[in-house]
Structure 1
Amino acid sequence: MRLHRSRGVPLLVAVSLLVLSGCGGDGPASEAAGSGEPVTGGTLVYAVNSAPETLDPHVSTQDAAGLYARPVLDSLVVMDEEGEFHPWLATSWDISEDGTVYRFTLREDVTFSDGTPLDAEAVRANLDRIVAPETMSAMAASFVEPYAATTVTGPHTFDIELSEPHAPLLAALSSAYFGIQSPRSLERGTEEIAREIIGSGPYVIEEFSPSTGITYQRNEDYAWQPATAGLEGAPYLERLEFRVMAEDSVRFGALTSRQVDAIGNLPPSGVRQAESVDGLWLTELQAPGGPYAYFPNTEEGVFTDRRVRQAFRDGIDFRALVEQLFFGAFAPAWGPLSPTTPGYDASLEEAWGHDPEGAAALLDEAGWHQRDGEGYRVRDGQRLTVVWPFVSSGAGELGDVLAVQVQAEAAELGFEVVFDTGTQGELVEKYNRGDYDLMDVSWARNDPDALRNLFATSSIPTPDHFAHNAARVSDPQVDEWLDQALATTDPRERAALYGEVQQRLTEEAAVFPVHVSTNVVAGHDHVRDVRWDPQGYPLFHEAWVAS
């Protein structure tokens, strides 16, 4: 048994209305014990904690859609672990000097599993569909907001035209959410696409159910692996199965009893036990993008005062709580980005910390110096109350326990934290209206532009517009830096601009970082060459099972 630490992870969602995208790429292999030549054939069963309601990644708002779509859908480009892009369906591309036109050339030998050939018109149909209002894409479309049009310039050449420069375009195009579907299949009804997506990928769907999972069969004709792959043709596996097992204990038990070959989201409490089991490998995957964090409503309510925000953040010992509850499996978070995100500002580590005395002084300074009979701080007859819409089923393992511990420590500071429980749909409505003081969210994306999704003024949700700025930050300086970062492709310049954003958000206490979203994947030693893309989805393009 071994533990391998790596970048990327499927998002541990705080609220399922916020999702992630999955980028294709090459990552560390499972490094199972033993060696030998790959074996063709066999079935690999991978247990997961959930399935999406729809398989259509153009539409879905659930992170699991990226995991389920990746075996079926190829992307135009592939991103490696270092954030570099390589050919996949596209053999080459050029970017105009002003950054508004991306000119692509496609492979000419690719065929979708329904027999439709891949051409430039197929790509145009996919991209136009993603941004079309009737598609109601709550996630994918937000990654390409400046998209203007795709102009076909030849059977296998096309231009993507933008209304303004957008440096994260290639990262978006590498993701499963921009996987290219057969244009013929897109003519079907929404419900049919939700149950079966048709792509050019290494597998085709055999059967899908949101309650039980999905099975795939090998695409025998597959011959266009991404440039980062070590295999040229069809996958080794005959069949691949994702089996839904929502309960952590059930999923872990299925692994140790060999009912399944590998599992995702090994609970932190099970890591030590798994380390003692012979014949298992473990891989710890940290998600890029935003960490699991609490977002204060800076637009309305008690957290409009920066001093109150800072007092809440610094007055609670998040580090100790994460260490105690998650057995050291999750690293503490320090800023608005996770450490595995390109452009992460490591100088924020230890820049703030647990300071209950300083927090108390800040609350006194803000006018909350009196306490009522229950020990809560009051000002002008009003209690210092924080309303937190919370659905424990969406908070990940021990997320509800952590919330209760935070509630208790906040009470010692004088905050009354009230959990506003309800259905997921009710939570979404309150989120869009801004009817809350605190919201817990994870948002994974392998690009520092995640900061724009999370903190740009244009990303503030409204009743008519779903968006991801849960803190409802509206800061002209932050917007300016984010706009400048979108307009440059110079990595150093982008990193410097995103660093400024991270520093300012930390100074303003616009986010309360909790822990780095982490997924521990475990498998038996007979499972070989499972690889991980930069965002943490397992890739089964080269996987095989030893006899």
Structure 2
Amino acid sequence: MTPRPSLSRAPRRAPRRAPRRALAAASVAVLAAGALAACGGGSSADNGSSADDGALAFAYDYDPAPQGYDPLLYAGDSQRLMFGSLYDSLFVMDENGDAQPSLVTDFSFNDDSSVLTLTLDTSATFSDGSTLSAQVVKDNLDRRDDPTLAAYVGFAAGGETEISDVTAEGEDTVVITFAAPQGGAAALLADQPGMIVGPDGLSDPDSLATTPDGSGSYTLSDETVKGSSYVVDLVTDDPDAGDYGFDEITFTPIVDPQARANAFVSGEVDAVLLDPETVSFVEGQGAAIVENGGLVTGLPVFDKLGATSEPFASVEVRQALNLGVDREAIAALHDGAVPSASLFPAGADGFDDTLLDDYAYDPDAAKALLADAGYPDGFSFPMITLGQNDTDLQAIQAQWAEIGVEMQIEKAASTEAAFASVNTTPLGFGQFAIGNPLGFVQGVVVGGFMNFQGASDDAITAAVGAAQGAEDDAARTEALTALDRAITDQGWYVPLYESFTSVGYDADKLAEPVFPGTLRYPLLTSFQPAS
């Protein structure tokens, strides 16, 4: 068998001190977001500074705030960078991908890890002038049953990480009771789920459409043009102001990959999230690039019960699809991508590096499994797409045709129709930045949009429970490895490949940015002036 390519990383810098309210967090899910295109620049190879030494300009791949400034409306890592400047979170992720207290000064669990007690930093001040209290945290978390708040999906009633009760005890103590043990609750309360909105924003949620109400180290500037450029100014008397390298940051969404790369090499922005297709172009201009793994592309199996396509109720059929896809051929379509048969990124705790060999392309074995499941002549099913993934889907379509499975690719009439397909088709397609694999499985694979049918699997349930209740790192790694394997073995996901995130930066102005674990966007605190 072909050996698995290694996922090399850019060298990691020495860990910085974790600020009391550092700006980094892990995501538990990746949701699609709209974007407004911004103009790219010219193609000058000399990347000059975009602003004075007190300002930083970063180019996003899409609009980080399409629905306004309530951080709980979003669940993706792409919002962390900008929203982390405006809002503090209960916990944050450090550069190793581990959750650290932020608005929390101390925390503890009960014996079975179902009750989490938080002691808060009540000096944190919101933009409305009020300060953090236990009641404010409770009022935030009590919004968890609002279906519009994507960051709270897992915490809602019936969610995989359901919170059954939140109690405020005095001014600085919050007691959170989960419906089941949650030993990894600190990571679940990092990033958007742990970001705390101030009292004014809570009392008038509509105001958050135009005005953030957070306690972050930056405030939104009047220079902001929504959808085009988001400008934030440092609060110089904020206790964490010294942890940030710039007095002003501009976040500019530029949807077109080449226009975004052009804006960087021409000096319009100081740092940029690059698409794989433009990395070689930027490298050719002599610019500095830092890479990080963790963006996993694959096919989530929505239908495990056979409700939309009867064959998908069979685990043998789902395993056949995993064996019938040539991951190496598909990964070769994307510069820098490596084949993967795992939901977990290669750098994540619990990543099972044996899956790629176990699920190496084997059409004969796939046909045998289909025959065992009662489908010796194969079957057909629809796949709804918006058109962005046609190259991958056409390759998969041809490969599955070789084992007798006809995937009928249909163009969605609208974005809404594409999202609705999770209830009407057995399979989807997506890219997921998975910084907290356990949280992603709980909130998305089992408790979120990948499982609207509410299917269950004994192996997955057992592995999740073991990871939640693990008493030491070794036990947690063992449980997470079992979980990674169970997801593929049970055919809840058809992994394809893992990509690197590439961030270009002006090395004359900036030190090398640092990522939190395997997440896609760097830590905001790591954007520091070059020494």
TM-score range, shorter chain: 0.7 to 0.9
Q: Paired residue for 1:203?
A: 218
SS at match of 1:149: strand
SS at match of 1:158: strand
SS at match of 2:331: helix
Q: Paired residue for 1:25?
A: none
Q: Paired residue for 2:304?
A: 298
Of the three residues 523, 531, 536, the one matched with 2:505 is: 523
Q: Does 1:78 align with 2:78?
A: no
2:319–2:366: 8 Å Cα contact kept in structure 1? Answer: yes
Q: Does 1:124 align with 2:102?
A: no
1:478–1:501: 8 Å Cα contact kept in structure 2? Answer: yes
Q: Paired residue for 2:189?
A: 173
Q: Does 1:440 align with 2:444?
A: no
Q: How far did 1:405 drift?
A: 1.8
Q: Paired residue for 2:521?
A: 537
Structure 2 Cα separation of the partners of residues 334 and 223 of structure 1? 45
Change (3 A) 1:85 1:426: closer
SS at match of 1:255: helix
Aligned residues, how many? 483
1:164–1:487: 8 Å Cα contact kept in structure 2? Answer: no
Structure 2 Cα separation of the partners of residues 141 and 358 of structure 1? 38
Q: How far did 1:353 drift?
A: 0.4
Equivalent positions of 1:141-220 (< 5 A) are 141-143=153-155, 145-190=161-206, 192-207=207-222, 208-209=224-225, 211-220=227-236
Q: Does 1:46 align with 2:58?
A: yes
1:9–1:286: 8 Å Cα contact kept in structure 2? Answer: no
Change (3 A) 1:5 1:238: same
1:439–1:470: 8 Å Cα contact kept in structure 2? Answer: no
SS at match of 2:81: helix
Structure 2 Cα separation of the partners of residues 407 and 359 of structure 1? 15
Question: What is the TM-score of this pair, normalised by structure 2?
Answer: 0.81
Change (3 A) 1:87 1:95: same
Of the three residues 395, 398, 402, the one matched with 1:405 is: 395
Change (3 A) 1:167 1:203: same
Q: How far did 1:497 drift?
A: 2.6
Structure 1 Cα separation of the partners of residues 155 and 444 of structure 2? 12
Q: How far did 1:349 drift?
A: 3.5
Q: Does 1:348 align with 2:359?
A: no
1:486 partner letter: Q
RMSD: 3.3
1:45–1:243: 8 Å Cα contact kept in structure 2? Answer: yes
Structure 2 Cα separation of the partners of residues 200 and 412 of structure 1? 56
Change (3 A) 1:121 1:454: closer
The gaps in structure 2 that reach 5 residues or longer are: 1-7, 14-23, 35-50
SS at match of 1:121: helix
Q: Paired residue for 1:451?
A: 441
Question: What is the TM-score of this pair, normalised by structure 1?
Answer: 0.79
Q: Paired residue for 1:389?
A: 384
Structure 2 Cα separation of the partners of residues 409 and 441 of structure 1? 19
Of the three residues 142, 149, 152, the one matched with 1:137 is: 149
Change (3 A) 1:489 1:116: farther
Q: How far did 1:244 drift?
A: 1.1
Q: Paired residue for 2:129?
A: 115
Q: Paired residue for 1:314?
A: 323
Change (3 A) 1:478 1:389: same
Of the three residues 100, 103, 108, the one matched with 2:114 is: 100
Structure 2 Cα separation of the partners of residues 293 and 59 of structure 1? 25
Q: How far did 1:509 drift?
A: 3.2
Percent identity of equivalent pairs: 23
The gaps in structure 1 that reach 5 residues or longer are: 19-38, 225-231, 371-376, 378-383, 394-398, 460-465
Change (3 A) 1:128 1:209: farther
SS at match of 1:350: helix
1:76–1:89: 8 Å Cα contact kept in structure 2? Answer: yes
Q: Does 1:475 align with 2:457?
A: yes
1:151 partner letter: T
1:318 partner letter: R
